[in-house]
Chain A
């Protein structure tokens, strides 16, 4: 009598007792969750460091340091340079190269400088935004995948119920609990991914605004040097 009432309802037994498709769904979700957490941490570190480096470079730049000196430092430490430093370096290199050419047009000079900075900016943004799309898709898809596993599990559970003459809650409950595990894992993967995506997208946006405004201001400074 007790056999029907005392199913072992620990989480592990629910997972191991699930049917193969449900287990596949669970494995897939677990993998997605693993990767999303990996990218969450990676992005968090990268963005924090980028923000620090940007702040540091802005401080140096606006404290009235010599542009040539800043450029030399950026070239020497290219490997450890931050995104903003690289943008500055690209723009200044283009500017100095063009300026040495005789009879250069001011407008063309400024255009090419801005283009060089724009290109570096795009590249840096691409680097910062990488794998944010992964987080977004995990956040939006994994609940559905989990739901698929659950629906499958419940379907099986009800099909098994057809063989039982008198259905009680104790017949249905284990199957449903088993199936719901898939949804739980899906949500477990999705929630941090969505939260992290929103957070990082905001951070990247902030950085982008900082870079763009710096580009504009730096162009102005260079243009002023020409006169």
Chain B
């Protein structure tokens, strides 16, 4: 093999190795050094709930109160203003004074009658109007009462639905709470180092204050096992060691885990 052949082979090899070197470093850099690849877990995220969120309330959809049917038009007042009676055709004028007087009289009478008639008609229409007004008032009152009753009914239905929902949720959450309580107790039990001479009947009760992340803020001895203080201490240590405690991810349930009452027995 000649020197130039050696040289060209070396060159190719060196080039390949240099390239491989950089690929290797790039891979190391990309996969090895990932600065804060994950979002920082924000130290304090505060969710303020005014009320427990109703998780997708089953659409009980309280029907809006049926619109009150437009009342039938108020009955037309029957009284039709009668056209004033037609003046009778004046009798043929008789060239007679007496007759004239008579006629005068008659005319006066007639005029009176006409006026009276007019007055009567006016009175009737007024009465009809009053009547109409009264009836409309009664109607409005009735309507209002009906609407109120409706609203009441709707409100009570809503309340009922809410109660039912709450009950349902409470039942579901109670199940979850029990499940997680069991898990917490199990986890804590794993960390208990039983001191010797613990009787099986010993029972310890702890009030544990838990933070949303599962950290234990404090464990307070509620009921000691009396006979063996070493057992109390062992359980307390185990509770602190078992952090973070398993908690449900649903923040709504967190409220029930703020303060836990945990009971431990040596054998279970």
Contact = CB atoms under 8 A, between A and B. Distances in A.
Interface of A: 2, 5-7, 9-12, 30, 33-35, 37-42, 45-46, 49, 79-81, 177, 188
Interface of B: 1-4, 6-7, 10-11, 13-15, 17-19, 21-22, 25, 29-30, 33-37, 39-40, 42
A40 B18 contact: yes
Contacts of A12: 30
Given A37-B18, A38-B15, A80 B30 contact: no
Given A10-B30, A10-B34, A80-B6, 17 more contacts: A6-B40, A9-B34, A9-B36, A9-B37, A10-B37, A11-B35, A12-B30, A33-B22, A34-B19, A37-B17, A39-B14, A41-B15, A41-B18, A42-B14, A80-B1, A80-B3, A177-B35
A11 B30 CA distance: 6
A63 B256 CA distance: 94
Given A9-B35, A10-B30, A79-B4, A188 B25 contact: yes
Contacts of B35: 9-11, 177
A19 to B, nearest CB: 19
Contact of A2 (B10, B15, B22, B39): B39
Majority DSSP secondary structure for residues of A touching B? helix
A34 B3 contact: no
Contacts of A81: 3
Contacts, number: 61
Closest 10 interchain pairs by CB?
A41-B14, A37-B18, A6-B39, A79-B2, A42-B14, A9-B35, A38-B18, A45-B10, A41-B17, A9-B36
20 contacts: A7-B36, A9-B35, A10-B30, A10-B34, A11-B29, A30-B22, A34-B19, A35-B18, A39-B14, A40-B18, A41-B13, A41-B15, A42-B11, A42-B14, A46-B7, A46-B10, A49-B6, A79-B3, A79-B4, A80-B2
Majority DSSP secondary structure for residues of B touching A? helix
Contacts of B36: 7, 9
Contacts of B22: 30, 33-34, 37
A133 B50 CA distance: 73
A177 B37 CA distance: 13
